[in-house]
A and B are shown apart, each in its own frame.
Chain A
Amino acid sequence: MFDNVFGIHEQALLLHGQRLSVLANNMANADTPGYKARDIDFTEVLASANGAGNGDAPLALSTTSPAHIAPATGDFMTGDLKYRNPYQASLDGNTVEMAVEQAAFSENNVRYQASLGFINSQISELQFVIAGQ
């Protein structure tokens, strides 16, 4: 029962944590010539994690033989890094646009805290049920 108590939020938290460091990297390399800004497409990762939309566990593989080995379910939501398309190209080949990165960073910050909030409310729900009052 407790395996799936946090639902998608646990994985979302990990992904947002990962995206935070990717965006921090972009900002750290804002003045590095030739650096290409990167990001994780959250929507795409979520879609792939949800698989073909069967109500089953995300990314479940259909097993047609008992000899098939179940896939590891640990970190299925690791996002592929994509390169960002700059709004305005710069002469030194750097594609980091500080305003874009800062906006994405604070958006990711809010989403991380939202996931955290969902998990926290799940925990207090469980505590409420366990305590029975």
Chain B
Amino acid sequence: MSLFSVFNIAGSALNAQTIRLNTTASNLANSESVDGDASKVYRARHPVFQTMMDSPDASSADPDGAVAGVRVLGVVQSTTEPVKRYDPNNPVANKDGYVYMSNVNAIEEMTNMISANRSFATNVEAINTARDLLLKTIAMGH
């Protein structure tokens, strides 16, 4: 029954968007993190989404591999160079008096958050619609 698959599809999207919101929260929380070592300072993390494919199934609508939602392939770290700042009073400053700022771009994170929020709401709406239609189908003839 294809209506039931909407729950799986939209559910996978809710999961993916939640992970995206989590990384955004982590990035925003660490946007002011500093470290004396450029290799240890916090770097912005971003999830990479990938379309999930069902195993090829002759009875499905698309024999080449029916699509069944989305998943998070992995979380990549931003490769932007951290900004070096002269702050000799900072306890984590290196011997030359420099600290490295995390490379989180707060504007980018905020737009990501809005986008994730909108996508989440859309998928919740899809689930609600599918549920309503299923309930009406079950009540057929009454």
Write out the residue numbers on chain A whose beta carbons fall within 8 Å of the beta carbon of B107. none
- In whole Å, how far is A10's beta carbon from the nearest beta carbon of chain B? 11
Q: Which residues 5-57 of B have a CB within 8 angstroms of A?
A: 5-6, 9-10, 12-13, 16-17, 20, 48-51
Q: Which residues 47-73 of B have a CB within 8 angstroms of A?
A: 48-51, 59, 61-62, 67-70
CB-nearest residue of chain A to B73: A32
Q: B13, B20, B48, B115: which has the most chain A beta carbons within 10 Å?
A: B13
CB-nearest residue of chain B to A102: B122
Q: Which residues 69-100 of B have a CB within 8 angstroms of A?
A: 69-70
Interface flag for B3 (CB, 8 Å):
yes
Q: What is the number of residues of chain B that contact chain A, defined by CB distance less than 8 Å?
A: 37
B140 touches A116 (CB 8 A): yes
Q: What is the bound-complex CA distance between A95 and B70, given in angstroms?
A: 15
B50 touches A123 (CB 8 A): no
B6 touches A29 (CB 8 A): no
Stretch of A15-23, A47-55, A58-66 at the chain-chain interface = A15-23
**Given known A25-B67, A38-B67, A78-B61, contact A112–B5 (CB-CB < 8 A):** no
Q: What is the bound-complex CA distance between A120 and B138, given in angstroms?
A: 11
Interface residues of B (CB under 8 A from A): 1-3, 5-6, 9-10, 12-13, 16-17, 20, 48-51, 59, 61-62, 67-70, 115-116, 118-119, 122-123, 126, 129-130, 133, 136-137, 140-141
Interface residues of A (CB under 8 A from B): 13-14, 17-18, 20-25, 27-33, 35, 38, 40, 75, 78-81, 98, 102, 105-106, 109, 112-113, 116, 119-120, 123-124, 127
Q: A27-B119, A75-B59 are in contact. List 10 more A-B contacts (CB 8 A).
A: A17-B2, A18-B61, A20-B2, A20-B133, A21-B5, A21-B9, A28-B10, A31-B70, A98-B122, A112-B133
